[in-house]
Homo-oligomer: A and B are copies of this chain.
Amino acid sequence: MSCLWMSLAGLVSAQELESPNGNLEMEFSLLENGTPTYTLTYKDKQVIKESKLGLDLKNDEADLFNSFSQADVETSTFDETWKPVWGEEKEIRNHYNEMAVTLTQEETGRKMIVRFRLFDEGLGFRYEFPQQKELGHFVIEDEKTQFAMSGDHTAFWIPGDYDTQEYDYTESRLSEIRERMASSITANISQTSFSPTGVQTSLMMKSENGLYINLHEAALIDYPAMHLDLDDEKMIFESWLTPDVNGDKAFMIAPTHTPWRTIMVSDDAREILASRMIYNLNDPIAIEDPSWIKPMKYIGVWWEMITGKSSWHYTDDFSAVRLGETDYDSAKPNDTHGATTEHVKEYIDFAAEHGFDGVLVEGWNIGWEDWFGHSKDYVFDFVTPYPDFDLEEVRDYAKSKGVEMIMHHETSSSVRNYERHMDEAYQFMKDNGYNAVKSGYVGDMLPRGENHYSQWLVNHYQYAIEKAADFKIMVNAHEAVRPTGVARTYPNLIGNESARGTEYQAFGGSKPNHVTVLPFTRLQGGPMDYTPGIFEMDISTFSPDNDSHVNSTLANQLALYVTMYSPLQMAADLIENYKRFPDAFQFIKDVALDWDKSIYLEAEPGDYITVARKEKGSENWFIGNVNGETPRTSRINFDFLNKGQKYIATIYSDAKDAHYKTNPQAYEIKKVVVTNKSKLSKLSVPGGGYAISIIPAEK
């Protein structure tokens, strides 16, 4: 393989690079016409066939994808270990070999660097545009980065879309994407697809020769999010950037660079999950003292609105609201408003009783009567509570109970309005003791014509994160662009949605194996506020008009607290449902949020994931197993435990007759003693799983 390029006609130069362990090898070459290309192999198996690199510029005869000659190559090695503020490990090693290829265009005098970083788990590369007279401002019309696949892989994909990531994954051959696209595009409030073979990153694939390949990006800052468009004859993916309102992709000012394009690869699926390559490609932390950033376990006034049991809005009197003019005080309250002072106090009581850090309240502020669907500009002010929500009283009550309130900022995608109110809204939070905000971007964008993942909006989400950091506020942004490891630099970004979350279990249900895919895809870029912990799968028991079914067993729901890593974990179900299952609820109370170490024990995308994690600063371990559609016996051993130490393992697992559809609440809880010699065989039913807490029995 390493000689293949020698036989290619027209090759005028070539550069090789190996990963630190030698398993990965990449080559950079220029075609005869000066187009840059690269290839990637893993243990001598082809991962990326010859693939072109470059960019189309707007209104510019001299594009940046051919006529290059190679001016310089610099190689180097980097090896550091850094400590994340929160994460799956207390330390992360960042080890790669780097090759920076400086390219020049003789005609234009322009210079571009392609920088490759080859890790043991994969390759990252980006385009860099140094300061130069010949290239100041430029507009990217298209990024033409190719990822040429070596075969018709099996892929776990969601439809490419400029406005939503909230799709179920389709598992298919690459060649089947086209025929399965239409059925994969399910309805959403705001959605814009662009190609019958367009898919989103992070894209997870399996090759016939046993490779697990993942395509994504890292450090997406002030650039449009990248999709992938497949040439399904040649099996070549090409980058497809989210356009702005005029169809332009990115406005650039040199010196600058693109985000990293990433290719992770292994013959062991667990290594994909264990990789921290995406984080490593991001800049180190930019917050000097991050001591105020803390993982949180929380409950909230949310699932009751999602399921239709109660409402965000306060009154049915108004067909439209003009903030500051509409008179709420004389409006007739409806009977369904969730965020009332009394009701929130019940949540605070429950949180205090069961050791939760926080309580989220949605629908607390005026404006929800016409909150989306109207392209409304001044939709919320983020500081004015409804008449039946006494913010001061709630604040003081929560404080007296040792519980933190979590703020909610639904923007309805009116981002100018959000930016206008952001300072005041953040200050209002701090003045009232709120340290974390869940923000939302439901509906079509304002500025109108922009999309959720265009440069304009990527810039906005980052602005919101950085400004929040100034106020020492943690951000959990929903419907924002999928994360790409930016939380390394700004760890106050403690969560994102940016995928199909638990809410869809109340909107018709998600595929039962959804949670066996997400860690391979969406979670590569950062944690997800997936909001697990649903105990009542038949929603109609408490919300009669909603016949949606949660496609998961109760044990699977517990396992998610371990398998879906996040420093922010919600117990999403209603208090009344937790009260019915206090023994199972105990796991949610016990499970840790932050970790010293994570060991992926078993993993196969779409089928199962089993992970063991050691609680940060403690000897407690927690294990989670989630299972797809096929019943399966998980077989693990406990050799990661301390030698000679006895532990009490509490195993929350599916009952034998459990099934996500027909018998989801059938679970068993067993307490056993385990040591590092112990082994476990455990059946996980369809849509099932298990969760284990492991506590040292004695010193």
Listed in ascending order, the chain A residues whose CB lies under 8 Å from chain B are 132-133, 135-137, 139, 244-246, 248, 251, 253-256, 318-322, 325, 370, 374-377, 416, 419-420, 423, 447-450, 456, 459, 463
A244-B448, A246-B448, A253-B374 provided; 9 other pairs, C-beta below 8 A? A135-B319, A136-B370, A245-B447, A245-B448, A253-B370, A254-B320, A419-B419, A419-B420, A447-B447
Find the B residue at minimum CB distance from A375.
Answer: B251
Closest-by-CB residue of B relative to A320 is: B136
Least CB separation from A422: chain B residue:
B420
CB distance from A636 to the nearest CB of B (A): 50
A419 to B419, CA, bound (A): 8
List, in ascending order, chain B residues with CB within 8 A of A135's CB: 319
- Chain B nearest CB, measured from A374 CB (Å): 4
Nearest chain B residue, comparing its CB with the CB of A327: B131
The answer to whether A376 and B251 touch (CB under 8 A), given A136-B320, A137-B370, A420-B419, is yes
Q: Are B137 and A320 in contact (CB under 8 A)?
A: yes
Of B251, B325, B448, B463, which one neighbours A420 at CB under 8 angstroms?
B463
Residue contact A319 to B133, C-beta cutoff 8 Å? yes
Contacts of A322 in B (CB 8 A): 253, 255-256
Residues in B whose Cβ lies below 8 Å from that of A245: 245, 447-449
Q: Are A253 and B448 in contact (CB under 8 A)?
A: no
CB-based nearest B residue for A245: B449
Partner of A419, one of B132, B246, B320, B416: B416
In the assembled complex, the CB of A620 is this many whole angstroms from the nearest CB of chain B, namely: 45
Known: A376-B253, A459-B377. Is A136-B246 also a contact (CB below 8 A)?
Answer: no
Which residues in B have their C-beta under 8 angstroms from that of A320?
136-137, 253-254
Closest chain B residue to A459 by CB distance? Answer: B377
Pick the contact of A376 from B137, B256, B447, B463 — CB < 8 Å? B137
Cα of A139 to Cα of B448 in the assembled complex, Å: 13
- With A and B bound together, what is the CA distance between A318 and B132 in angstroms? 9
A137 vs B414: C-alpha distance when bound (angstroms): 15
Using Cβ atoms and an 8 Å threshold, which residues of chain B touch A321? 253
A139 to B377, CA, bound (A): 12
Q: Which of B416, B420, B449 contacts A449 (CB 8 A)?
A: B449
Q: How far is the CB of A449 from chain B (nearest CB, A)?
A: 4
Q: Name the residue on B nearest A467 (C-beta).
A: B420
Give Cα distance in the complex from A132 to B46, angstroms: 66
Give the CA-CA distance A136 to B139 in the complex, in Å. 40
**Quick one: which of B248, B319, B325, B416 contacts A416, CB cutoff 8 A?**
B416
Determine the distance from Cα of A137 to Cα of B377 in the docked complex, in whole angstroms: 11
Contacts of A133 in B (CB 8 A): 319
Give, as a whole number of angstroms, the nearest-CB distance from A128 to chain B: 14
Q: 10 shortest A-B CB distances, which residue pairs?
A: A136-B320, A136-B319, A447-B447, A137-B374, A245-B449, A253-B320, A137-B320, A133-B319, A245-B245, A253-B322
Which residues of chain B are within 8 angstroms of A246 by Cβ–Cβ distance? 448-449
**Contact indicator A456/B449 (Cβ below 8 Å):** no
Complex-state Cα separation, A319 to B138, whole angstroms? 11
Nearest Cβ in chain B — how far from A402, in angstroms? 35
For the complex, what is the distance from the CA of A135 to the CA of B370, rounded to whole Å? Answer: 13
Q: Complex Cα distance A321/B254, Å?
A: 8
Q: Complex Cα distance A139/B245, Å?
A: 20
Closest B residue to A252 by CB, please name it: B320
Q: Contact at B319–A251, with CB atoms within 8 Å?
A: no
A129 to chain B, nearest CB (A): 10
CB distance from A328 to the nearest CB of B (A): 14
Specify the chain B residue showing the minimal Cβ separation from A222.
Answer: B377
Chain B residues whose C-beta falls within 8 Å of the C-beta of A244 in the assembled complex: 448
Which residues from B are CB-within-8-Å of A254? 320
The distance in angstroms between the C-alpha atoms of A254 and B319, with both chains bound, is 9
Cβ contact of A251, chosen from B377, B416, B459, cutoff 8 A: B377
Report the separation of the CA atoms of residues A370 and B251 in the bound assembly, to the nearest whole angstrom. 14
Q: Chain B contacts of A448 at CB under 8 A?
A: 244-246, 248
B-side contacts of A253, CB under 8 Å: 320-322, 370, 374, 376
Distance between Cα atoms of A423 and B374 in the complex (Å): 29
Q: Please give the distance in Å from A448's CB to the nearest CB on chain B.
A: 6
A219 to B201 Cα, complex, angstroms: 49
Question: How distant is A424 from chain B, measured CB to nearest CB, in Å?
Answer: 9
Give the nearest-CB partner of A424 in chain B.
Answer: B423
Chain B residue at smallest Cβ distance from A374: B137
A–B complex contacts, Cβ < 8 Å, 19 sampled: A132-B319, A135-B319, A136-B374, A139-B375, A245-B245, A245-B448, A248-B448, A251-B376, A251-B377, A253-B321, A253-B322, A253-B374, A253-B376, A254-B320, A256-B322, A416-B419, A416-B456, A447-B447, A447-B449
Per the bound structure, the CA–CA distance linking A320 and B137 in Å amounts to 6
- Chain B residues in 8 Å Cβ range of A132: 319
A163 CB to closest chain B CB (Å) equals: 15
Q: Give CA–CA (A413, B456) in the complex, Å.
A: 15
A171 CB to nearest chain B CB (Å): 37
Whole-angstrom distance between the Cβ of A325 and the nearest chain B Cβ: 8
Name the CB-closest residue of B to A322: B253
Which chain B residues border A449 with CB–CB below 8 Å?
245-246, 447, 449
CB distance from A38 to the nearest CB of B (A): 28
Residues of B contacting A139 in the complex (Cβ-Cβ under 8 angstroms)? 375
Determine the distance from Cα of A568 to Cα of B571 in the docked complex, in whole angstroms: 61
In the complex, what residues of B have CB within 8 A of residue A377's CB?
A: 251, 459
Residues of B within 8 A of A376 (CB): 137, 251, 253
Least Cβ–Cβ distance between A367 and chain B, in angstroms = 11
Distance of A319 Cα from B253 Cα, bound (Å): 9
In the assembly, what is the distance between CA of A525 and CA of B110, in Å?
50
